[in-house]
């Protein structure tokens, strides 16, 4: 099994500014789908081919994967996909904040690294700050799609998203988990999991009209749920 990259190590804390859409896509004012932790980018590369009227940005912390994926992206027919190296928890907030209103219309986090040990939960990609930055950039009705093959990973993502109160699950999103993928192209991990006949847990949220909680408030409430022992000592 591959070693996960520790996003909290000092190397990955370096600020790295992502370019604006004008420098990434041939038609920069199309809606953007952002896929966080996209690995080799097969899902986004496939979606970009099928949906030329969307732009697709994948971000990934493992540089060798990005090198190959972005080479394919740059060679794509429609100029509507890029795969960039960054730590999503460091670089996305500023990038999303600088976007024009309603430019970002879909965000996906698919099969994120699990980091099972409680003391490693802070390495998980969906953290309160990233969730709130995403909620700030998405207008009401726009989508946040989460999927994983690990219940212990999807359940905390759902719990955090619902704790923020910024997203609703539409009635048509089956409970407890939707069986089909709203995206037309599976990821690498999804393909593998489905080939093994293992379950996949999926949730599609839509941004609602609610105002955002503060990051510190959500972080504190989240820590009380996710790591109560540490919450008592801080
Ligand atoms: C289990 S893989 C799944 C990849 C892909 N989404 C799929 O479904 O096949 C999770 C990916 O997220 C990336 N990742 C983890 N933390 C990240 C972070 N903070 N920023 C960007 N990428 C991250 C990992 O390097 C890894 O490639």
Q: Is the CB of 147 under 6 A from ligand 1?
A: no
Separation of CA 177 and ligand 1 centre (Å): 21
pLDDT > 90? residue 13: no
**185-226 confidence digits (pLDDT tens):** 999 999 999 999 999 999 999 999 999 999 999 999 999 999
Q: Classify residue 1: in a domain, yes or no.
A: no
Q: Classify residue 43: in a domain, yes or no.
A: yes
Separation of CA 86 and ligand 1 centre (Å): 11
Please give the residue range of the domain that contains residue 169.
10-233
Separation of CA 190 and ligand 1 centre (Å): 13
Q: Is the CB of 89 under 6 A from ligand 1?
A: yes
Q: Classify residue 110: in a domain, yes or no.
A: yes
Q: Is the CB of 188 under 6 A from ligand 1?
A: yes
Q: Classify residue 220: in a domain, yes or no.
A: yes
Q: Classify residue 106: in a domain, yes or no.
A: yes
Catalytic residue among 113, 152, 173, 217: 113
Question: Using 50, 70 and 90 to split pLDDT, how confident is the model at 15?
Answer: confident
Domain count, the chain: 1
Q: Classify residue 76: in a domain, yes or no.
A: yes
**113-158 confidence digits (pLDDT tens):** 999 999 999 999 999 999 999 999 999 999 999 999 999 999 999 9
Q: Classify residue 79: in a domain, yes or no.
A: yes
CATH code: domain of residue 65: 3.40.50.150
To the query of whether residue 113 is one of the catalytic residues in this protein, the response is yes
Tokens of 32: 């953007």
pTM score of the predicted model? 0.96
Q: Classify residue 3: in a domain, yes or no.
A: no
pLDDT at 234 (0 to 100):
58
**19-78 confidence digits (pLDDT tens):** 999 999 999 999 999 999 999 999 999 999 999 999 999 999 999 999 999 999 999 999
Q: Is the CB of 143 under 6 A from ligand 1?
A: no
């Amino acid at each position: 099994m591959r070693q996960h990259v520790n996003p909290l190590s000092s190397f990955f804390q370096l600020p790295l500014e992502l370019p604006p859409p004008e420098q990434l896509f041939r038609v920069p004012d199309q809606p953007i789908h952002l896929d966080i932790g996209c690995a080799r980018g097969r899902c986004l590369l496939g979606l970009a081919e099928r949906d030329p009227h969307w732009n697709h940005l994948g971000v990934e912390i493992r540089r060798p994967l990005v090198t190959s994926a972005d080479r394919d992206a740059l060679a794509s027919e429609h100029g509507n996909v890029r795969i960039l190296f960054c730590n999503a928890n460091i670089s996305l907030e500023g990038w999303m904040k600088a976007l024009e209103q309603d430019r970002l219309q879909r965000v996906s986090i698919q099969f994120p690294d699990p980091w099972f040990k409680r003391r490693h939960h802070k390495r998980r990609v969906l953290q309160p700050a990233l969730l709130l930055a995403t909620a700030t950039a998405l207008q009401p009705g726009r989508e946040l799609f989460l999927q994983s093959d690990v219940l212990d990973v999807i359940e905390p993502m759902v719990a955090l998203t619902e704790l923020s109160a910024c997203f609703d699950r539409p009635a048509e999103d089956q409970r407890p988990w939707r069986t089909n993928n709203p995206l037309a192209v599976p990821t690498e991990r999804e393909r593998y999991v489905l080939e093994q006949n293992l379950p996949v847990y999926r949730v599609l949220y839509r941004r609602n009209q609610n105002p955002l909680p503060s990051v510190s408030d959500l972080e504190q409430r989240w820590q009380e749920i996710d790591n109560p022992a540490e919450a008592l000592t801080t």
